[in-house]
Amino acid sequence: MDELNLRFIIAAYSVSWLVILGYLMRLKRKGSQARADYDQISKETAGDGPR
Amino acid sequence: MSWEDDWRRVRAIAKKDLTTELRAKAGFNGVASLAVTILILLGLALGPDADALRNAAVGAVWLATLFSGVLAFNRSFQVELESGALEPLLLYPGPRWTIFAGKLLANLIFVSLMVAIVTVAGIVLFGIAIPPRWPTILLVIALGVAGLVVLGTFYASMASRSRAREVLLPLLLFPMLVPVLLAATTASKALLGADLMHEAGAWTRLLIGYDLVFLIATFIAFEHVIED
Amino acid sequence: MPQTELSRESRAAAPPRTSAFFGFIAFAALIAAQVFSILTSPAEADMGHLQKIMYVHVPAAWMAFISFFVVLVFSVRYLWKKRENDDLLAASAAEVGATFTGLTLMLGMIWGRPAWGVWWVWDARLTSTLVLFLIFVGYLALRAFVDDAEQRARWSAAVGAIGAINVPIVYMSVKWWRTLHQPQSSPSTLDPAYTMGLRLNAIALLLVTIYFIRKRYEIARLERAVEHLAEAAAMGGK
């Protein structure tokens, strides 16, 4: 009985960390993408300046 | 502007919507036919055992109502969308809430008529015996329809103007209607029987509270939603 | 009513970086809390160590609620002040909230399988959480299907606020639905032996949630700033 439950406990904690780390990865990826886009476009439009 | 002017505007919008819908070929007849068709399909899927059907009757009627209702709600804004009449409607002097009220009124009448038909069909198809407390059941249905129409009209004002409106309206609306669905079906089932636990009263009060809360909330929110 | 007029420069300004150190602390706290709770909580008579799942399941549910509350507050604030950043924060909280709600559901099912013998029961809390998840999904779907930024912000705020109002009503109605007929033995009034561990896990997970929301908000602001700069460039006639 305990054996079975152990499997579920491990499953639960694995799923939890998968979700949490997975979301973290997604944020990190989107974050660097967004920063890169921002840096690039600021550089491009830097020449424009206030009119 | 005076209350009379506002009220006249509400009635005018409601009347315009209703006449457009009731006259259009695919309007009321289409939606009502769909509702009954869904009911029939549910009967086929859940039957043919008479007891199973009788137990499923209340749920089936409400589901048929919900699924056809979304069609009615999207259509209530579609007319303006197609003819581009939304902008002139907005520019016309008068408070915005009258637009919402007018559409609410039109949808209320439209859906009530549809529910009447579906309920009768349900009684016949699912073999329901009309109980002595049927006026209370009517009240429960009315309160449920009110909740459905208020939120349905509100969400349709946005969904109908977005991409993927057929998916977005049910996706937004149905989770919000869970309290209505639970209250209306549980209370109706109790009233069809003997209501041994006297729960119909509690559910009815929940429906009244729900309707009031969302009537007020959607009126306030509509101002922000309708500007273009 | 247009959005609060900010100068083009300030709308296009880069948002501050979310501290990676804070993230590190949050995750360290979470690991520490979990290790502590797993090692110090006693085994139960019938279910063995199954209750240990509660150390993640319950805090995850709490984080879902907190996120929804953030969505409510900033949705209302947006409708009031029309500040774009409020909308972006609400949306960030919604995404994080949806994630934690999904996690709550999965853990509820993983706990339920050995405890009740089935993967799903129409239990009051599990069902309500499922509805909450759908409300989040609807909010996010709306944002995905509306292209105009200002309209998206206004509509999301309205939908977010109204959705949030419904959350307690949903919980109440589902609870009545389940209990008026059969008084149900609620599965999780936790033993005081678990309270300390639960609190530690909740605090740690709260830190992680705050980190997630801030990081997501930073991304949202960056993306929006890029859009503003692109618009400005296009209008500059280049």
Chains that touch C (3 or more CB pairs under 8 A): A, B
> Residues of chain A whose C-beta is under 8 A from some C-beta in C?
1-2, 4-6, 8-9, 11-13, 15-16, 19-20, 23-24, 27, 30-31, 34-35, 37-38, 41-42, 44-45, 48, 50-51
With an 8 Å Cβ cutoff, are C138 and B178 in contact? no
Q: Is B171 on the interface with C (CB under 8 A)?
A: yes
- Residue B86's pLDDT is what? 66
Which tens digits make up the pLDDT trace of B53-74?
A: 999 999 999 999 999 999 889 8
Find the mean pLDDT for residues C125-153: 95
What spatial distance separates the first Cα and last Cα of chain A, rounded to whole Å? 75
Which tens digits make up the pLDDT trace of A2-51?
A: 666 889 999 999 999 999 999 999 999 999 999 999 999 888 877 655 54
| Minimum-distance CB partner of A27 among C53, C215, C238 | C215
Q: Which domain holds residue B151?
A: 3-226
- Residue B157's pLDDT is what? 93
| Minimum-distance CB partner of C134 among B175, B197, B206 | B175
Contact assessment for residue C125 and residue C156, using Cβ atoms and an 8 Å cutoff: no
Backbone angles phi, psi at C44, to 5 degrees: -95, 160
Number of structural domains, chain B?
1
Place C132 in a pLDDT band, splitting at 50, 70 and 90: very high
- Residue B119's pLDDT is what? 96
Q: Is C48 on the interface with B (CB under 8 A)?
A: no
Residue C183 has pLDDT above 80, yes or no: no
- Residue C1's pLDDT is what? 45
| Minimum-distance CB partner of A2 among C48, C60, C96 | C48
DSSP string over chain B: --HHHHHHHHHHHHHHHHHHHHHSTTSHHHHHHHHHHHHHHHHHHH-SSHHHHHHHHHHHHHHHHHHHHHHHHHHHHHHHHHHT-HHHHHHSSS-THHHHHHHHHHHHHHHHHHHHHHHHHHHHHHTPPPPTTHHHHHHHHHHHHHHHHHHHHHHHHHHTTSSSHHHHHHHHHHHHTHHHHHHHHHHHHHHHTT-TT-HHHHHHHHHHHHHHHHHHHHHHHHHHHH--
With an 8 Å Cβ cutoff, are C238 and A9 in contact? no
Taking CA–CA distances from C52, the nearest residue in chain A reads A9
Please tell me whether residue C238 adopts helix, strand or coil conformation: coil
Q: What is the pTM of this model?
A: 0.91
Rounded to whole angstroms, the Cα distance separating C2 from C151 reads: 10
Place B7 in a pLDDT band, splitting at 50, 70 and 90: confident
Residues 132-191 of C with CB under 8 A from B: 134-135, 137-138, 141-142, 145-147, 151, 154-155, 157-159, 161-163, 165-166, 169-170, 172-174, 176-177, 180-181
DSSP string over chain A: -HHHHHHHHHHHHHHHHHHHHHHHHHHHHHHHHHHHHHHHHHHHHTTT---
Distance from CA of B39 to the nearest CA of C (A): 24
- Share of residues in chain B with pLDDT > 90 (%): 61
Distance from CA of C226 to the nearest CA of A (A): 5
- Residue B24's pLDDT is what? 62
Place B165 in a pLDDT band, splitting at 50, 70 and 90: confident
